[in-house]
Amino acid sequence: MLEAFPPEPHRVTMDDGHLRPGATFDQTPAQLRELWASMTLVREFDRKLVTLLRQGRTTFYAQASGMEATQIGVARGLRPGHDWVWGYYRDQGVALGLGMPLTEVVAQMVGSNNDPNKGRQMPHHAGSVATRFVSGSSSIASQVPPAVGMAMAQSYLGLDEVTVCTFGDGATSEGDWHAGVNMAAVKNAPCLFVCENNQWAISTPVERQTRSESIHVKARAYGIPGYFVDGNDVLAVQQAVKELADGMRQGSGPALLECLTYRVGSHSNADADAEKTYRSRDQVREWSGRDPITRFERFLASQGQEIGSRERADFVAQVHRQMEAAVQEAEASGVPGWQSMLDDVYGDTPVHLRQQYQSLRQEYGGQKETR
């Protein structure tokens, strides 16, 4: 059982990858290897997307390197296709971990015809109804109030599903965050708030973000439990999310879970990390030394499940082949035309938009109409 407001983060493994004395886990060897594969997929996804950015084939990306254990732990603690996740722009690991197809995530980045959103979202804001991962807005914490609304609906309808809402440390300073957490608490809505505390909000360090001693302690103000896990320990995150989500299915109400991790890469392709202006390289090096994937590989080795260098290389090569195929498929599908701009937007399109659509049709005449 997780302890609320603990003095130290919950861990299953130590920094060196060994099992923490007294800790237990119940994953089979195949499930453990699958956790490794999922985290490695997220790492390689980052590498490929950074290359695509440099080639000008997409325009916005926020890396999750260093945060894979948090994101895969969250996804693997849930029931995919059953529970709903309202994530934020850095959550590609959560989306992939929940099973969103690589081709869809890539198509969204490219804004191509095979993108389910038909290129109408900012790049790197993928979502999927089938995966129950909601496409968000870049406005920090704007996902929190609607996530709470969904959790309230789940509770009113007596559904056996929960909502998870993820966000960064910086998001906990936003008005939307406080309004949403308060509402969830008052309504006892089954919403698990997960803070991916990577210790930076672009160039603002967490100690200048808040005077609270931690993020999870903020739960006290709303009368809900706050939990704290080592966000670089995938087993700890998975265990915590599973226990809290299962508890919420039984009516335990909302909770806040803080996962302490670190953003090793730049904030996005639009910040000054590369110019080394806002954080010390010593800090980046220190946290790179606590890499969640290396740590998990050490854990696997200690359990007689070592990932060999050949296995790793084969897996990485396979991911890059899949990524390249997904990019080529997206680019080959072409760019959506104006005709699809109102598709899937309204059940009953308002009259003024229908009129504007007709004007466009007259102006661009002869092109095939899609609605």
Ligand X SMILES: Cc1ncc(C[n+]2csc(CCOP(=O)(O)OP(=O)(O)O)c2C)c(N)n1
- Interface residues with ligand X (CB under 6 A) are 90, 138-140, 167-171, 198, 200-202, 263, 267
C-alpha closest to that of 233 among 7, 8, 9, 2: 9
CB 288 within 8 A of CB 265: no
User: Minimum distance from CB of 68 to ligand X (Å)?
Assistant: 13
Q: Which does 90 bind (CB under 5 to 8 A by kind): Mg ion, ligand X, none?
A: ligand X
Please tell me whether residue 225 binds Mg ion under the rule CB under 5 A. no
Q: For residue 193, give both structure tokens.
A: 């708030």
User: Minimum distance from CB of 89 to ligand X (Å)?
Assistant: 7
User: Minimum distance from CB of 199 to Mg ion (Å)?
Assistant: 7
Output 278 or 315, the one with its CB closest to ligand X.
Answer: 278
CA distance 315 to 292: 18
Angle at Cα 77 formed by Cα 73 and Cα 80, nearest 5°? 110
Q: Which does 360 bind (CB under 5 to 8 A by kind): Mg ion, ligand X, none?
A: none
Comparing every residue's Cβ against Mg ion, the nearest one is 168
C-alpha closest to that of 88 among 69, 68, 71, 106: 71
Of 65, 131, 135, 198, which one interacts with Mg ion (CB under 5 A)?
198
Q: Cα 217 to the chain's mean position, in Å?
A: 22
Q: Which stretch binds Mg ion (CB under 5 A): 68-76, 197-205, 268-276, 291-299?
A: 197-205
Dihedral sign of CA atoms 139, 144, 149, 153 in order: positive
Comparing every residue's Cβ against ligand X, the nearest one is 168
Q: Which does 191 bind (CB under 5 to 8 A by kind): Mg ion, ligand X, none?
A: none
Output 144 or 327, the one with its CB closest to ligand X.
Answer: 144
Q: For residue 342, give both structure tokens.
A: 């109102």
Q: Which does 342 bind (CB under 5 to 8 A by kind): Mg ion, ligand X, none?
A: none
Q: Which stretch binds Mg ion (CB under 5 A): 74-82, 163-171, 252-260, 283-291?
A: 163-171
**How big is the chain, counted in residues?**
371
Q: Which does 43 bind (CB under 5 to 8 A by kind): Mg ion, ligand X, none?
A: none
User: Minimum distance from CB of 2 to ligand X (Å)?
Assistant: 23
Q: Which stretch binds Mg ion (CB under 5 A): 166-174, 236-244, 250-258, 279-287?
A: 166-174
User: Minimum distance from CB of 216 to ligand X (Å)?
Assistant: 15
Output 93 or 336, the one with its CB closest to Mg ion.
Answer: 93
Q: Which residues contact 166 (CB under 8 A, 6 or more apart)?
A: 74, 85, 86, 87, 88, 91, 94, 194, 195, 196
Tell me which residues in 169-188 interact with Mg ion (CB under 5 A).
169
Q: Which does 124 bind (CB under 5 to 8 A by kind): Mg ion, ligand X, none?
A: none
Output 139 or 358, the one with its CB closest to ligand X.
Answer: 139
Residue ranges binding Mg ion (CB under 5 A): 168-169, 198, 201
